[in-house]
Amino acid sequence: MDITVYIIPILVALLLAYSLHKKVNAYESFIKGAKEGIKYSIEILPYIASMIIATAVFKGSDFLNTIVNFIDKNNFINIDLITLMVFKPISGMASTATLIEIFKKYGPDSYIGYLGSIISGSTDTTLYIITVYFGAVGIKNVKHSIKAGLLIDLLSFVFAFIAVKILLF
């Protein structure tokens, strides 16, 4: 059994036990917080929708394949890894789908499979996080967060390549 299955139930049980100990009306607090949860999700809907639509069109048009094939006629770069690296910062769903394609095509224990695993595990959905966090509280000017966030992703990709080369193959 996976230990991760226990984390959430244990955390929730501890929290409720603590609130009982502190004599807080947990139900009223929960309702109050839940109302805010709904507020957030309505705030972020337009941002999420526009992002998902753009990602779907981009994916459907196969634009990425066309560009990579145009630049790289000898298939030097692995197109599936490029797809993963492009989609990972944008959408968790799209990048998970790509990782599954990689696992099916090459197997999770191949060089590409390991690289894909580590790339997808080591970075987060940068643009999605920026969209949701800033969108939820209504901030328009995000300053250098996109630039800096993508730079960190790029660094993680480089670390992933180095780690797989040195530690696994």
103-162: which residues touch other proteins (CB under 8 A)? Answer: 103-104, 107-109, 113-114, 117-118, 120-124, 126, 129-130, 132-134, 136-145, 147-149, 151-153, 155-156, 159-160
Who's near 118: CB < 8 A, 6+ residues apart?
Answer: 160, 163, 164
Angle at which helix 63-71 crosses helix 26-60, to 10 degrees, equals: 50
Enter the tokens of residue 144: 């250098």
Query: Which is nearer to other proteins, 77 or 137 (by Cβ)?
Result: 137
Quick note: the x/- pattern for other proteins over 77-96, rule CB under 8 A, is ---------------xx--x
9 near other proteins, judged by CB under 8 A: no
C-alpha distances (whole Å) from 9 to each of 20, 34, 110 are 17, 18, 35
3-state secondary structure of 23: coil
Query: Which residues between 19 and 78 bind other proteins (CB under 8 A)?
Result: 19, 21-22, 24-26, 29-34, 36-38, 40-41, 44-45, 48-49, 51-53, 55-57, 59-63, 65-66
